[in-house]
Amino acid sequence: MAIVTTAKRADFDLIHEKRGIRQFMEFVLAREDYANAKPHPEPYLTGLRRFGVTADEALVVEDSARGLKSAVAAGIDCAVVHNEFTKGQDFARASYRIGTLAELTDIIERLAARSVTAAPAGGRARPPRVVVSRRACGRSPACAPSPC
C-alpha cells in the first residue's frame, strides 16, 4: 500500500507523525514528487511506476472528485470511501463506492481472484497494489483508531 497526496511532505509528516501510518505504507508520494497535481493523472502514474505495476494491477482509494478524476485519467480502478466533507461531489465514475475502509477487503479479494485467472500459464498473479489518498485514510472514521 502507498499514499499519494497533494499535501507537501512537511505538512503530511506533521499531520501524521503520531498516527503511525507510514509503517503500513511502502511509500508516500507528496506534492514535491510530481509536477502536476490531481486531477491530473501524473500523481497516480508516478505511483504505478514506483510500484512497478500496470493500472490493471492497482486500486486507488479516494474520497474526493479531484482524486477520482486523477485515478480515472490514469486508467486505475477507484474505490471512493464516504466522507462527510466531500459527500456532495460527483463520484459517478468510481469503480466502487464504499462506506468504510473495512469494505476494501472484499474488493481486494475479488481483484486478486481476477488477477489469478488472468495470469499467464505458469505465471504468478500478484494481489492488487492499493494507493490511498491521504484524506481518504486521514479523515475517514474507518481509519480511527487504527491506521489504514
- When the pLDDT of each residue in the chain is averaged and rounded to a whole number, the result is 85
What pTM was computed for the model?
Answer: 0.82
Nearest-CA neighbor of 63 among 147, 135, 121, 1?
Answer: 135
Task: Specify if 146 maps to a domain.
Answer: no
The 3-state DSSP class for residue 129 equals strand
Q: Tell me, what's the pLDDT at 53?
A: 93
- The yes-or-no verdict on residue 148 having pLDDT over 60 is no
Task: Specify if 145 maps to a domain.
Answer: no
Task: Specify if 94 maps to a domain.
Answer: yes
- Residues 68, 74 contacting (CB under 8 angstroms): no
Q: Tell me, what's the pLDDT at 131?
A: 75
φ and ψ of 100, to 5 deg: -140, 160
- The residue written with cell numbers 463506492 in the block is 97
The 3-state DSSP class for residue 146 equals coil
The residue range of the domain holding 31 is: 2-140
CA-derived radius of gyration, the chain: 15
pLDDT band at 125 (very low <50, low <70, confident <90, very high): low
Quote the number of domains for the chain: 1
Task: Specify if 148 maps to a domain.
Answer: no
Domain of 93: which CATH number?
3.40.50.1000
Q: Please indicate whether residue 65 or residue 120 has the higher confidence score (pLDDT).
A: 65
Task: Specify if 24 maps to a domain.
Answer: yes
How far is residue 94's CA from residue 82's CA, in Å, rounded to a whole number?
12
Q: Tell me, what's the pLDDT at 145?
A: 37
